């Protein structure tokens, strides 16, 4: 038996929703499975275009000029096949300059099977290309109006790893459980692999890597808990993934390599009437075997975190303040070892990246928003290429960026 929830549009609706706890709910229950065909298919999308200016790094472009390489477009459809099966897919076009590969891609394309549903338990299985649903903003990191800032905290949402972290082809399970005494639980488990383009290989390794990089294994899990009637929610997440690099037969500077990335997260979210607070903290282990020469091994532990607050001045205006820290190697926080081990080729500031961000968003009309932000950044550890960085162009320890983006969604 399926049910359909109908939602009121317009600002007046917001007042209605607000009164949800004290006013009447109309409940219409029908003992039939039939649904009107217009409700079976839903089409949604978003358009956004921005301007971004980075001074002191090649985060977006190499020349440092004002850039319009801040485009995010998406179109998605959902089709209900039966009361328990649904098809869903989204196509996006992204352009972020140097941040990631630009172009059209299939963001997700999946079969959603509602395996079990009762009053307190809901289990869904997603088959196909699913989105990463494990971190606070991972599932909609490219959907402008769903995220707190245009540029997400790079410690967690590193754009250089975007195409790998955004989702995968495989299987994902979501279990939601609500208990009157303990609260609300969400558990997610996923395993799958992501295709890695030549561009992405260069973004991670180096411009000189001409071979193929393959994502061979990926297991992720997360658990969220919201106590009964609480504005707080707490989460834990894990990631374990393996990659293989096969060097090109001719002209490759590198040899075959194995790469392992493991990450452990904790996060917290507070959603009050005017104030919001969120934070994610993580540790990652990056193991690198061979690559430069047979027998080479690098095993480093990185650490990152951000704390963020948002304040709703009114229904339209939202302010943001965020502080973020990231260390590529927790045993070399100042980067002296990095600089020494490369004979000064890679400056010490490539060992960390700390960011202070402030910004606002303003709703110009329903589903139409402008967002602005300014970042002051110390360090370059989250610039690409990751493995063999580019200190020639990123020759500044401190750098800044501002960005403005217009967005519309339906």
Partner 1 sequence: MYPYQLDRIWNKLTYSGLGVAPITIISPEALIDAVKKTPGAIGYVEKLKDENGFYIIEIKD
Which residues would be at the binding site for partner 1 (CB under 8 A)? Answer: 1-10, 12-14, 16-30, 32, 34-36, 39, 42, 44, 46, 74, 76, 78, 80, 86, 88-90, 108, 110, 112, 124, 126, 130-131, 133, 139-140, 143, 145-146, 174, 271, 273, 312, 409
Q: Which is nearer to partner 1, 2 or 64 (CB)?
A: 2
- Give, in degrees to the nearest 5, the angle at Cα 383 between 283 and 242: 50
Closest approach of partner 1 to the CB of residue 19, in Å = 7
Other residues' Cβ atoms within 10 Å of the Cβ of residue 133: 19
Q: Which is nearer to partner 1, 369 or 382 (CB)?
A: 369
Q: What is the 3-state secondary structure (H, E, C) of 199-257?
A: HHHHHHCCCCCCCEEEEEEEEEEEEEEECCCCCEEEEEEEEEEEEEEECCCCCCCCCCE
Q: Which is nearer to partner 1, 110 or 204 (CB)?
A: 110
Closest approach of partner 1 to the CB of residue 314, in Å = 12
Q: Which is nearer to partner 1, 1 or 250 (CB)?
A: 1
Distance in angstroms (rounded) separating the CA atoms of residues 274 and 314 = 8
Q: Which is nearer to partner 1, 42 or 120 (CB)?
A: 42
Q: Which is nearer to partner 1, 297 or 367 (CB)?
A: 367
State the DSSP code for 153.
P
Cα dihedral sign, 161-162-168-173: positive
Mapped onto helix, strand or coil, the DSSP state of residue 117 is: strand
Q: Which is nearer to partner 1, 217 or 409 (CB)?
A: 409
Closest approach of partner 1 to the CB of residue 79, in Å = 10
Distance in angstroms (rounded) separating the CA atoms of residues 155 and 279 = 12
Distance in angstroms (rounded) separating the CA atoms of residues 245 and 387 = 13
Q: Which is nearer to partner 1, 7 or 119 (CB)?
A: 7
Closest approach of partner 1 to the CB of residue 175, in Å = 13
Closest approach of partner 1 to the CB of residue 315, in Å = 9
Distance in angstroms (rounded) separating the CA atoms of residues 227 and 265 = 20
Closest approach of partner 1 to the CB of residue 74, in Å = 7
Distance in angstroms (rounded) separating the CA atoms of residues 186 and 225 = 7
b vs e for 42-66, b when ≥16 Cβ sit within 10 Å of the residue's Cβ? eeebbbbbbebbbebbbbbbeebee
- Of 243, 246, 161, 260, the closest CA to residue 209 belongs to 246
Bond into 380 cis (ω within 30): no
- Of 89, 81, 83, 87, the closest CA to residue 115 belongs to 83
Closest approach of partner 1 to the CB of residue 82, in Å = 14
Distance in angstroms (rounded) separating the CA atoms of residues 276 and 231 = 9
Closest approach of partner 1 to the CB of residue 274, in Å = 9
Closest approach of partner 1 to the CB of residue 207, in Å = 33
Q: Which is nearer to partner 1, 226 or 357 (CB)?
A: 226
Closest approach of partner 1 to the CB of residue 167, in Å = 9
Q: Which is nearer to partner 1, 58 or 76 (CB)?
A: 76
């Amino acid at each position: 038996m399926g049910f359909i929830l109908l939602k009121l549009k317009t600002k007046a609706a917001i007042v209605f929703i607000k009164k949800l706890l004290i006013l009447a709910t109309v409940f219409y229950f029908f003992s039939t499975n039939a649904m009107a065909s217009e409700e079976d298919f839903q089409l949604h999308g978003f358009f956004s275009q921005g301007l971004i200016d980075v001074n002191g790094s090649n985060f977006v472009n190499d020349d440092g000029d004002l850039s319009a390489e801040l485009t995010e477009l998406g179109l998605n459809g959902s089709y209900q096949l039966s009361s328990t099966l649904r098809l869903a897919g989204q196509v996006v076009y992204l352009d972020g300059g140097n941040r990631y590969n630009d172009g059209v891609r299939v963001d997700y394309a999946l079969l959603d099977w509602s395996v079990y549903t009762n009053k307190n338990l809901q289990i869904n299985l997603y088959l196909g290309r699913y989105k990463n649903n494990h971190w606070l903003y991972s599932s909609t990191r490219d959907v402008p109006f769903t995220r707190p800032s245009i540029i997400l905290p790079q410690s967690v949402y590193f754009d250089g790893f975007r195409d790998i972290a955004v989702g995968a082809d495989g299987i994902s399970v979501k279990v939601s459980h609500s208990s009157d005494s303990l609260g609300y639980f969400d558990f997610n488990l996923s395993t799958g692999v992501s295709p890695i383009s030549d561009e992405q290989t260069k973004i991670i390794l180096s411009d000189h890597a001409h071979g193929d990089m393959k994502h061979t294994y990926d297991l992720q899990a997360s658990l969220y808990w919201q106590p009964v009637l609480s504005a707080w929610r707490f989460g834990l997440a894990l990631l374990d993934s393996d990659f293989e690099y096969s060097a090109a037969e001719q002209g490759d500077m590198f040899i075959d390599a194995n790469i392992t990335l493991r990450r452990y997260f904790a996060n917290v979210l507070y959603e009050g009437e005017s104030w919001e607070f969120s934070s994610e903290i993580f540790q990652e282990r990056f193991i690198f075997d061979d690559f430069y020469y047979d027998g080479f091994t690098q095993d480093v532990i990185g650490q990152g975190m951000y704390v963020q607050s948002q304040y709703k001045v009114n229904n339209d205006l939202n302010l943001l303040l965020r502080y973020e820290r990231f260390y590529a190697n927790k045993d070399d926080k100042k980067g002296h070892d990095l600089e020494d081990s490369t004979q000064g080729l890679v400056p010490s500031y490539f060992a960390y990246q700390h960011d202070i961000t402030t910004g606002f968003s303003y709703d110009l009309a329903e589903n139409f928003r402008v967002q602005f932000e300014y970042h002051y950044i110390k360090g370059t550890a989250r610039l690409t290429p990751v493995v063999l960085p580019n200190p020639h162009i990123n020759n500044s320890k401190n750098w800044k960026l501002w960005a403005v983006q217009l967005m519309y969604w339906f």
